[in-house]
Structure 1
Amino acid sequence: MSKFERVLRVIIGILVIVGVWYFYASWWALIGLVPLITGLIGFCPLYRVLGKQSCPFKKK
């Protein structure tokens, strides 16, 4: 996962958690944990299943 995508996921995750909790005070805010956690650890299981590579690695 590229650095830009990781930062974007963390920002989106925080915005979803705060926004949903502020406006609805609901447990649905926990959905924001998915992009937040995947952004923090840099791994998305769905990418592995789909075979997507967003960060090109250097060939030796």
Structure 2
Amino acid sequence: MKSNVGGADKIARIVVGAVLIGLALTGVIGVWGWIGVVPLATGLFNFCPAYTLLGVNTCKLKK
């Protein structure tokens, strides 16, 4: 897997994922909060399958 998630995108994914999971654990939102696992995982692994399909890359290019 080639990294395609970087910078602010990575931080935003981790924060949003953690918040959604936290809200699901506390019961503020229902089971749908567990969808936060997806952005959390893509942020931690620096890879998003949807970005690959769409041809998007937010990582800085190595020179």
Q: TM (normalized to structure 1)? A: 0.79
Report the counterpart of residue 39 of structure 1 in structure 2: 43
Q: Matched residues in 2 for 1:40 and 1:56: separation?
A: 17
RMSD of aligned residue pairs (Cα, Å): 1.5
Match of 1:19 among 10, 17, 23: 23
- Secondary structure at the aligned position of 2:47 is classed as coil
Deviates more, 1:42-51 or 1:27-36: 27-36
Structure 2, unpaired ranges of 5+: none
Shift of 1:29: 2.1
Q: Answer with 1 or 2: which has the greater Rg.
A: 1
Percent identity at matched positions?
Answer: 36
Shift of 1:12: 0.6
Structure 1 stretches of 4+ with a deviation exceeding 2 A read none
Relative contact order (C-alpha < 8 Å, sep 6+): which is higher?
Answer: 2
